[in-house]
Structure 1
Amino acid sequence: MLKDSPIISRSPEIMSGTPVFTGTRVPVQTLLDYLKAGESIDDFLDGFPTVTREQVIALLEEAGKRLINMAA
């Protein structure tokens, strides 16, 4: 999806290649798990201060656009 972008990066040297927020070691899946559990973006950001609000919003916006395009 957004592999190796300003939002998501993936490298075998970082978290064994798990997609993470660029510039961090925070897996993107962690955000999705937080949201699925009913936690807020603020809760996620409090727990993972190396991720910026801008990164989270950009990820969600891009994911939303791609889902809408798939359904169109």
Structure 2
Amino acid sequence: MNWKDHIVSDNKVLLENPTVKGTRLLVEHIVGLLAEGWDEQQILENYPRLSKESLRAVFSYVQDCMKDGVLYTNIQ
């Protein structure tokens, strides 16, 4: 899976924060829904412009950020 096919960062959309391509849904928002206990089906039902592939791309993007150390700041 190439997350770059689904996740974009555009300075004209939400201050260049990573979003799902073709939407104004922040990657951060989707991760937050999952952290709150939403499952894949609930997300897809509530955000019909998302696909299973775009949700997998969110995970792939976060995984790459973790590999690069982007998400590790002051973890104690």
Both structures adopt the same fold (TM-score exceeding 0.5)? yes
Post-superposition offset of 1:13: 0.8
Alpha-carbon distance in 2 for matches of 1:57, 1:44: 12
Q: SS at 2:5's partner residue? A: coil
Name 2:26's counterpart in structure 1: 27
What root-mean-square deviation, in Å, do the aligned CA atoms of Structure 1 and Structure 2 show? 2.7
Alpha-carbon distance in 2 for matches of 1:54, 1:27: 16
Alpha-carbon distance in 2 for matches of 1:52, 1:40: 13
For the Cα contact (< 8 Å) 2:19–2:25, is it kept in 1? yes
- 1:1-72 correspondence to structure 2 within 5 Å: 5-61=4-60, 63-64=62-63, 67=66
Tell me how many residue pairs correspond in the alignment.
68
Cα distance, 1:23–1:37 mapped onto 2, change above 3 Å: same
Q: SS at 1:42's partner residue? A: helix
Post-superposition offset of 1:39: 0.8
| Structure 2 spans left out of the alignment, 5+ residues | 70-76
Alpha-carbon distance in 2 for matches of 1:33, 1:41: 13
| Structure 1 spans left out of the alignment, 5+ residues | none
Give the structure-1-normalised TM-score: 0.71
Cα distance, 1:17–1:67 mapped onto 2, change above 3 Å: closer
Task: Tell which has more relative contact order, 1 or 2 (C-alpha 8 A, sep 6+).
Answer: 2
